[in-house]
Amino acid sequence: MKEQENIPTGKVERATRFVSTGIKVGGNYVKHYTKRLLDGSVSKEELHEENAKDIYNTLSTLRGSALKVAQMLSMDKGMLPNAYVECFALSQYSAPPLSGPIVVNTFLKTLGKSPQQLFDQFEMHACNAASIGQVHKAVKNGKNLAVKIQYPGVAASVRSDLKIVKPFAVRLVGMKELEMDKYFEEIEARLLEETDYTLEVKRSIELSESCRHIENLVFPTYYPELSSGRIITMDWLEGYHLKEFLATHPSQEVRNKIGQALWDFYHHQVHHLKKVHADPHPGNFLFREDGTVGVVDFGCVKEIPQVFYENYFSLIDKNIYKDESRWRKVYANLELIHPKDTEEEIQFFSGLFHKMIDLFTLPFTREQFDFGDETYFKEIYAYTEYISNLKEVRNSKAARGSRHSLYINRTYFGLYSILSELKANVTTGFIPAIHP
């Protein structure tokens, strides 16, 4: 893949790129509806493909927060048309890498030495490039290392990028911009943390130590002395990205071992640590033929407030729906229903949430769950699509759900998606009853 010589870092230059993309997208709509006048059989999928390609091309050159939002949207297959999901998923591990001079300059600015001075060997061409940074392979004292380097200007542009990208997200999701504010505030907080590599090294060491007892998980050792606010050095872990791994046709036993390790990894973090690796896209894991899986990125960590935890996971207990005052209280605490809702709205939206929660919590109510069951995921996607097409939902435009639910939902959507692709059969077990 051709290297990128520079990244626009100024607010005006980055905003200009977004504006030009908006003009392209507008032009795509004009072309699409002109074609429809001449040929009524032209599908909207072609429009989605053109828009997705134009938006992704801009985001991939800007990197940072804007590309990270695209990555997040790509994980929710029920939220966007498939063309966007497929295109935005490229941000997980295949953005164009940055050129050598930018890499060397980052080392000189943050560690005071070039990579050649710090390592015995350093590969200047990145082996992996994503939304916030790219990874290089290095060797020191005979040990293979992975060196993650943050793109220039990423940390400084988080707030301005999110302001610019918000209208795109609002249009794609179909919600009022004001209603999206609390979610963007949450995204901003997590992204500012994610661009702090010193914090990431600290969290990586803490969480990997807390989860090291879990069978079939592998964590790298981190090297703070070779890291900085924009550089992280860790052990190099061998393994495949998910699609490459599946192409090796692993046995069901191996799929199950990896699926169990991932389930146990998230179960331990959420229910025992009350903080979680909240970025479970496939690019953050390395899958191995022996049934082990490497965890290589703790940049995005969500700390779970106790009150939110108690309300969120209380919904696994189906007895809650036998007590209307109780589930109304929990729904209100989770901001699924609002004080200004009419009784008709409460009954309508509660009915939708009852069904959706039943579907998503099903694995928690079984001792064993087969994530290879395609009918389960088809039912989820069909119900999600059904809800999104309801007139009452489209006209509501109200944000339903706590800001904390954004990353917790994202975590479980990502986990379910990986387990589904693995077709893993997992011992899920039960969570103790929680009574908020």
Q: Per-residue pLDDT for the chain (436 aa), expressed as one digit of tens each?
A: 445 445 545 455 555 555 454 444 444 444 434 444 444 444 555 545 665 565 656 565 655 556 666 555 544 544 455 555 555 554 444 555 677 888 999 999 999 999 999 999 999 988 887 777 889 999 999 999 999 998 887 777 777 777 766 766 666 555 565 567 888 888 888 888 989 999 999 999 999 999 999 999 999 999 999 999 999 999 999 999 999 999 999 999 999 999 999 999 999 999 999 999 998 888 899 999 999 999 998 988 999 999 999 999 999 988 898 899 999 999 999 999 999 899 999 999 999 999 999 999 999 989 999 999 999 999 988 888 888 778 888 777 678 899 999 899 989 988 999 999 999 999 997 665 565 5
Catalogue the E-assigned strands of 111-170.
121-122, 128-129, 133-140, 143-150
Tell me 362's DSSP state: G
Q: Cβ of 60: how many Cβ atoms within 10 Å?
A: 21
Q: Look at residues 377, 279, 284 and name the one whose alpha carbon lies nearest to residue 72.
A: 279
Domains of the chain listed by start with CATH number: 11-92+156-192 (no CATH), 96-129+132-154+197-237 (3.30.200), 239-436 (no CATH)
Q: What confidence score (pLDDT) does residue 35 get?
A: 41
Q: What confidence score (pLDDT) does residue 23 get?
A: 40
Q: What confidence score (pLDDT) does residue 424 get?
A: 97
Instruction: Say whether pTM exceeds 0.85.
Output: no
Q: What confidence score (pLDDT) does residue 69 get?
A: 61
Q: What confidence score (pLDDT) does residue 426 get?
A: 97
Task: List the beta bridge partners of residue 102.
Answer: none
Q: How far is residue 383 CA from its own chain's centroid?
A: 22
Q: Give DSSP secondary structure letters for 298-337.
A: ---EEE--HHHHHHHHHTT-GGGGG-HHHHHHHHHHTTSS
